[in-house]
Structure 1
């Protein structure tokens, strides 16, 4: 059942910008606030990784403030807080290793060589920069763009940029591994 809860939360959060866009276009933000709080609570009780707690807390905070203050802007701010939360998580692993990307890399390659550890640390720094940039762009879309642009960026373009960064990192990592193997 835990996997079902996690799946619901992931799908809900991925589709979140579209829910918000639809709800705000129809003057209904209260149910989206409740759904965001519900997704946060589901994540909280799914006993997932403690590293994700900042994201859980931000979901409950944004949904709760939206309801309490009767202000839908908090719903639009959630993607900003998601990027800030991701930055906190990734930066925290630079302070307390292993870095986030090293953790991911070790899933596929448990015996990561020292060069790989150094590489993954640098890539984690790149991700930190990405999350800062993404938070800034998401914040701009909240206050300075029409709803359609907010939905387009936060519901599509930011995911495309993340995918491109993942793909680029994967290609460069494989290239680095080949170069390192050739030097041995």
Structure 2
């Protein structure tokens, strides 16, 4: 049951821009606001230790403000807040190591070399730049027609994240290979 609920949450948040886009085009943003609050509260209450958990509060805040103020712009601001929140979380790990990417890397490779630690720190910085740019673009789309908001926040930003993730994976493997031959 826990896995089914987690799957529902992930699906909702991945499809969020499309759900919001549909609801706005049909004048039905109130139910999305309520759903965002409810799913945020349920995730907050059921989640274990997760470094990204503070972003759940953002879902509750945006959905709640949308309901209270009867203003759909709060729903469109959610991706901006997600990027800014991720930026803050990733950046804080640069000041209080291990860096976020090092934490992820150690899940697969617990005995990360010192050069691997340096590499993951640099990659965390790259993700911080990405989240800054993504938040800026997402904010610009809030003031654009809804279809631009949906296209960027529902497709383009995911593709960019995927490309960054894939590029980092390929470069990390190359970096590891070069460091093994130099040792």
Q: Name the TM-score, length of structure 2 as normaliser.
A: 0.96
Structure 1 residue 50, shift from structure 2 partner: 4.3
Any gaps of 5 or more consecutive residues in structure 1? none
Q: Deviations 1:36-69 (Å, cap 9, x if unpaired)?
A: 1112112101223342232111100000000000
RMSD: 1.1
Structure 1 residue 97, shift from structure 2 partner: 1.2
**Partner in structure 2 of residue 172 of structure 1:** 171
Aligned pairs (5 A) from 1:1-184: 1-143=1-143, 145-184=144-183
Alpha-carbon distance in 2 for matches of 1:35, 1:89: 25
Any gaps of 5 or more consecutive residues in structure 2? none
* SS of match in other structure, 1:162: helix
Question: For this pair of structures, how many residues does the alignment match?
Answer: 183
* SS of match in other structure, 1:152: helix
Alpha-carbon distance in 1 for matches of 2:53, 2:9: 13
- Are the equivalent residues in 2 in contact too, given 1:9–1:39 (CA < 8 A)? yes
Q: Name the TM-score, length of structure 1 as normaliser.
A: 0.96
Provide runs of 4+ in structure 1 moved above 3 Å.
none
* SS of match in other structure, 1:15: helix
Alpha-carbon distance in 2 for matches of 1:12, 1:48: 19
Alpha-carbon distance in 2 for matches of 1:50, 1:110: 18
